Amino acid sequence: MNPWKIFNVALCSAVFGLPIPAFSAQDEGATNTKTTTPLRLEVNTPYSEMETDFPPWPQERIIAGESVHRYKTFYAGDITVEIYESEPLTLRIDNFTIDEFVTVLSGKLILTVVGEEPQHFVPGDSVLIPKGFAGTWEMQGNYRELLVVMGDSDSVTNDKDIE
């Protein structure tokens, strides 16, 4: 199984309190995406060339919209770098379990911390969503983002990070 799929499944499990399935490095012919060569990030990758095996968001976390999304991993090592695309969707996040850096490529992102005013992000805007974020995560229009997650994706599966 590729590192991004493991990361996404673990992230969804941690963020939404779902059980984490067991994976082995042999699943789906896992590949190592580490390199010492600079990587060009093709953020305009056609939708048809993006992966579809990202698990759906749990229905109980969806406030509005449908869980239809794709991704493409550029790099998975000490950091994970990818593009993510979603149809319009609003999610309730109770306790975000990672630090995530996002640059909006298309559409609009609206993050609303519980008890605060919404923050709007449009193409070209960047935001750091810190561990512990609680509120709503709304993706509008043809939403696409470039995201970077620091640290080993295995740390998300650590029991102390699951709430």
Ordered DSSP codes for 8-22: HHHHHHHHHTPPPPP
What is the predicted pLDDT for the residue at 78?
Answer: 87
What is the predicted pLDDT for the residue at 44?
Answer: 81
Domain boundaries of the chain, sorted by first residue: 3-30+43-161
> Would the pLDDT of 161 be above 70?
no
What is the predicted pLDDT for the residue at 102?
Answer: 97
What is the predicted pLDDT for the residue at 116?
Answer: 96
> Would the pLDDT of 160 be above 80?
no
What mean pLDDT do residues 131-147 have? 96
Percent of the chain with pLDDT strictly greater than 90: 52
For residues 58 and 42, what is the distance between their CA atoms, to the nearest angstrom? 29
> Would the pLDDT of 141 be above 70?
yes
| Residue-level length of the chain | 163
Local structure of 147: helix, strand or coil? strand
CATH superfamily of 3-30+43-161: Jelly Rolls (2.60.120.10)
Q: Which of 8, 29, 20, 9 is nearest to 149 (CA)?
A: 8
Cβ distance 63 to 91 under 8 Å?
yes
The residue that leads in pLDDT, 46 or 2, is 46
Residue 131 exposed, middle or buried by CB count within 10 Å (0-12, 13-18, 19+): exposed
Of the pLDDT bands very low, low, confident and very high (cuts 50, 70, 90), residue 22 is very low
What is the predicted pLDDT for the residue at 33?
Answer: 55
Give the model confidence (pLDDT) of 56-86 as tens digits. 899 999 999 999 999 999 888 889 999 999 9
Of the pLDDT bands very low, low, confident and very high (cuts 50, 70, 90), residue 25 is very low
Q: Which of 92, 87, 90 is nearest to 110 (CA)?
A: 90
Percent of the chain with pLDDT strictly greater than 70: 71
For residues 110 and 120, what is the distance between their CA atoms, to the nearest angstrom? 5
For residues 51 and 47, what is the distance between their CA atoms, to the nearest angstrom? 9
What mean pLDDT do residues 137-149 have? 96
